[in-house]
Amino acid sequence: MYIVLLGAPGAGKGTQAAIISQKTGLTHIASGDLFRQAVQKGTELGKLVKSYMDKGMLAPDEVTIKVIMERLAEPDCVKGCIFDGFPRTLDQAKALDKTLKEQKKGIDKAVFIDVPDEELVKRLGGRWTCKNCQAVYHEVASPPKVAGKCDKCGGELYQRPDDNEVTIRERLKVYFTQTTPVLDYYKKEGKLIAVDGKLSIDEVADKVVRILEV
């Protein structure tokens, strides 16, 4: 089963993908995490994507598609995966379909986590991410048990450099112009299902798991 999780930055894609991956055994592929790892390691890819990430802009399609297709070719993706943060443009969605089609596979469902704009800004501003396992916390809505430490692995929590107000606004702008057409793309294919992202983390996860069971 191949699932795409859609939603604006701050909608909870990463949090939900991690829970759903655990519940279903599907591999979680997060484009943003792959890019942040490359930045951390200082690879050529990392150097290239950093400038885009810092500005809240999308990395070029050609680069992004290559990174994701290489990840998709790994053995843990044979039975399926959950894409988080990808596709973010129409060309990315088409490239993903093409690759899966070549393997006689396809996207089964595109789940859109729907959260109002003003809530997104609040969420991103208070977000803390684990340096080690990428788990996500919020200082008010879902704080860690010990401040600054990840509940799951004890790793250090940090605020992503692109979670500042100026970059958040740019990321939302980019989302509305470049990524919302992807929603229509999956809608036309009859694969889009919306979930109310204002519900609690567990409620959203339950709804998504039930959608995937159908």
128 near ligand AMP, judged by CB under 6 A: no
> Closest residue to ligand AMP, Cβ-based?
32
State the catalytic residues: 13, 88, 127, 160, 171
Per-position x/- string for 145-184, each x denoting binding to ligand AMP as judged by CB under 6 A, each - no binding = -----------------x--------x-------------
Nearer to ligand AMP, 156 or 210 (CB): 156
Query: Residue by residue, what is the 3-state secondary structure of the chain?
Result: CEEEEECCCCCCHHHHHHHHHHHHCCEEEEHHHHHHHHHHHCCHHHHHHHHHHHHCCCCCHHHHHHHHHHHHCCHHHCCCEEEECCCCCHHHHHHHHHHHHHCCCCCCEEEEEECCHHHHHHHHHCEEEECCCCCEEECCCECCCCCCECCCCCCEEECCCCCCHHHHHHHHHHHHHHHHHHHHHHHHCCCEEEEECCCCHHHHHHHHHHHHHC
Q: Tell whether residue 197 is a contact of ligand AMP (CB under 6 A).
A: no
Q: Closest distance between ligand AMP and the C-beta of residue 214, in Å?
A: 27
Residues within the interface to ligand AMP (CB under 6 A) = 9, 31-32, 35, 52-53, 56-59, 64, 85-86, 88, 92, 162, 171
